[in-house]
Amino acid sequence: MESPRVVSGWRWRLAWILGWCVFWATNASGAAPAPVRLPNVVLIFCDDLGWGDVGCFGAKGIRTPNIDSMARRGTKFTSFHVAQAVCSASRAALLTGCYPNRLGIHGALGPNQKIGLHPEEMTIAEVLKTRGYATAMFGKWHLGRPAELLPIRQGFDEYFGLPYSNDMWPRHPSAQTGTYPPLPLIDGDRVVEEMPDQSRLTQRYTERAVDFIGRSAGKPFFLYLAHSMPHVPIFASERFAGRSKRGLFGDVIEELDWSVGEVLKALRRHGLEDNTLVLFTSDNGPWLSYGHHAGGAGPFREGKGTSFEGGIRVPCVMQWPGRIPEGRVCDTPLMTIDVLPTLAGLAGAALPPRKIDGMDVWPILRGVPGATNPHPAYFTYYNQGDLIAVTSGDWKLFLPHVSQTLAGGSGGTNGAPARYRALRVGLELYNLRQDPGETRDLAAEEPEVLSRMLLLAEEARLDLGDARTRRVGSGVREPGRVP
């Protein structure tokens, strides 16, 4: 019979050997460590929603409890900007991280144009697909109507929506007869309806979004929900018609808020809320010429179609429990070009091989103390590639150009627009922190600031071009073209 000491030593050696066997079996024999849990992303993008059209941004007579809840449970960004205050250019910047000028996309593309987002550009969807994401887009595309340029050719596994703005249809109030073809509703790359009932668009987009969330719960996903509303012509479903104190426009916004609520409920229902970044914003400010069928820019000057703050500063709230601070208000200037690189960083994805302009601003979104914007300046282009404005810190410089204004008058009625007047803007300098409404030109009083801002403008022209100076920047690229 073995002594107690020998037995004890034998058992100890056996336990040691078994322990190492377990270690090597789980760490060195092909078994992968626990996978990194990549965050889901839901990007909700409204059309022509003004800074002042949401309850938590000061809207009156419009109830937006779900968007307001996002602001309480996340962060409200009060100085969030788009790269250009019009449809196609704004969307191109959001999805690629590039200034529209770099992409050769200006203004709003028409239904019969043969250009759009170049297939060689990488969208957010394509960047995230390199990390195994499921991707879907529901709503307004407006980056090329030809089938070769639709979302399912640009990184999205699924697409359902309108290929361009909902007013580009035969019933346009200001267009000549025959200008626009029947409005197509597309599923994938196939037209499934013509002239769809627009009062059901918000509901149908939302249903597809909620279904996608449920089907994608087992893997990381990117959902781009790009609502057609409140771009004119505005429509609300029967369920929401007549509910708000702001007439039809208010009804439309309250239905959009319902849509946000349905998406948030779906995330909670599938246990995804704590691992999902939800971003809600708009493509530009309100289309003021449509009067009661348009929203408002809050305290800011002008609206859609201008580079004043009312055109390019949009409402933005982000929610991600445990990652984005609750109940916070952030006034650090940001722009949609920063969304792609920030999401790429969160997903551990490489940036596109082609040059982009956005930067990773996650420390600002996260609320890291002392985090600052890495950009020396933001630039706003318009028309056929003219550099219009430079924003750096608290300062904003306008270069001479012709803009538009209602000159204090009201917009149109019954869905028909009022006519804008031309507004000549000179070399003007504003301090946005002290004067967010851009009312006091300080160009003559701040020569050093003016000189610095002009140098920034010249650097942008050399890189991105400027139609007026006939310089072609080294980084300017052509849009996609279909023969």
Q: What is the dihedral of CA 284, 49, 410, 142, to 10 degrees?
A: 50
Topology alike, domains 40-375 and 379-481: no
Task: Note if 142 is an active site residue.
Answer: yes
* C-alpha span between 228 and 201 (Å, rounded): 8
* C-alpha span between 109 and 403 (Å, rounded): 20
DSSP state of 336: G
Range of weakest confidence among 11-20, 202-211, 257-266, 353-362: 11-20
Domain spans, the chain: 40-375, 379-481
Task: Note if 98 is an active site residue.
Answer: no
Q: Count CA atoms closer than 13 A to 380's CA, side-chain side.
A: 28
Model confidence pLDDT, tens digit, residues 75-93: 999 999 999 999 999 999 9
Residues with Cβ < 8 Å from 166, sequence gap 6 or more? 140, 183, 198, 201, 228, 231, 232, 233
Select 40-375's CATH number: 3.50.30.40, 3.40.720.10, 3.30.70.240, 3.40.630.30: 3.40.720.10
* C-alpha span between 359 and 337 (Å, rounded): 8
Model confidence pLDDT, tens digit, residues 229-240: 999 999 999 999
Task: State residue 295's pLDDT score.
Answer: 95
Model confidence pLDDT, tens digit, residues 405-436: 998 788 999 899 999 999 999 999 999 999 99
Catalytic residue among 81, 106, 118, 142: 142
Nearest to 264 by CA among 59, 44, 49, 58: 44
Q: What is the largest CA-CA distance in the chain?
A: 107
Q: What percent of the chain has pLDDT over 90?
A: 86
Cα distances (angstroms) measured from residue 332 to each of 17, 66, 98, 120, 396 = 58, 24, 20, 32, 14
Catalytic residue among 46, 81, 87, 293: 87
Which class would CATH give 379-481? alpha beta
